[in-house]
Amino acid sequence: SQQGEEDPQALSIQEGENATMNCSYKTSINNLQWYRQNSGRGLVHLILIRSNEREKHSGRLRVTLDTSKKSSSLLITASRAADTASYFCATDAAGEGIGPGANSKLTFGKGITLSVRP
Amino acid sequence: DTGVSQDPRHKITKRGQNVTFRCDPISEHNRLYWYRQTLGQGPEFLTYFQNEAQLEKSRLLSDRFSAERPKGSFSTLEIQRTEQGDSAMYLCASRLVGSSYNEQFFGPGTRLTVL
């Protein structure tokens, strides 16, 4: 079953604008990750934020996590046409162990389709 | 290219036929996962291996599905008596247990179409 719910389902912006995508989830987590998928291709890992972190940056990416609201947001600044893709949040649920013994299976949302117009 | 490869990339088959997919993970990765993704949805977990041991199977994995990782390296996913509902992208991912991250490296997927 899908754990995360991304919002909006689709987003269309102009190149150079910022894109903000939101994700809500249901259960307690060890960490939350964002992935990108270009049409018909595999997933590319973007960024991981642990449950005890509130904000993380990687290049043009900024992710926040609010465990009290069970929500996360991904901000892409200064978007480019090459950012056009589907974006998924994925959670690694707590309670299934941590460390090497945990299964660490990921539960994905349905994804957000981002279109960046040149 | 993440270093995880899958073969074939596309498979078209008729209902009732058997199909087998292969995944080659990153060589030092001891954890291997299979996911299934249908159109407009996110990937859904199917099963995972720690070395050659299959440690968990999702309820999505009916008895027509079987996965192996015989030497703890590559893995195969076989679907017997395929049904139209099996049409999906099958994704493989690998991870190195003991690393501080739970980053999973995904292959390009095998797209299955059952006619």
The proportion of chain B whose per-residue pLDDT surpasses 90, expressed as a percent, equals 76
B10-53 pLDDT tens trace? 999 999 999 999 999 999 898 999 999 999 899 999 999 999 99
Residue B70 scores a pLDDT above 80: yes
Model pLDDT, residue A102:
59
Q: For chain B, say whether A27 makes contact (Cβ under 8 Å).
A: no
What span, in angstroms and rounded, lies between the C-alpha atoms of A48 and A45? 8
Residue A1 has pLDDT above 80, yes or no: no
Provide, as residue numbers in chain B, all residues whose Cβ is less than 8 Å from the Cβ of A108: 42-44
A109 at B interface, C-beta within 8 A: yes
Give pLDDT, residue A3. 60
Residue B97: the pLDDT is 77
Please indicate whether, in this complex, the C-beta atoms of A110 and B42 are within 8 angstroms of each other: yes
Task: Mark which residues 35-64 of B lie under 8 Å from A by CB.
Answer: 35, 40-45, 48, 55-56
Angle at B83 between CA B9 and CA B61, to 5 degrees: 80
Cα–Cα distance between B22 and B44 in angstroms, integer?
A: 18
The dihedral sign for the CA sequence B11, A106, A62, B96: negative
pLDDT above 70 coverage of chain B, percent: 97
Prior bond to A8 cis, omega within 30? yes
The residue with tokens 């996590």 is: A65
SS3 A82: helix
- pLDDT score of A80 more than 80: yes
Q: Which of B4, B41, B93 sits opposite A110 (nearest CB)?
A: B41
Q: What is the structure's pLDDT at B71?
A: 87
Are A35 and B98 within 8 A, CB to CB?
Answer: no
Of A1, A104, A107, the CB nearest to B102: A104
Mean pLDDT, residues B68-72 taken together: 91
- Answer whether residue A98 shows pLDDT above 80: no
Task: Say whether pLDDT at A10 is over 50.
Answer: yes
Average pLDDT, chain A: 88
Q: Tell me: the pLDDT tens digits for A11-46?
A: 999 999 999 999 999 988 888 999 999 987 889 999
- Tallying the residues shown for chain B, one arrives at 115
pLDDT in the model for residue A5: 78
Shortest distance, CA A116 to any CA of chain B (angstroms): 19
Interface probe for A, chosen from B89, B104, B105, B113 (most Cβ of A below 10 Å), is: B104
Mutation site, B31, B102, B105, B111, interface A, largest A CB count within 10 A: B102
The closest alpha carbon to A14, from A90, A87, A116, belongs to: A116
Average pLDDT over every residue of A57-78: 97
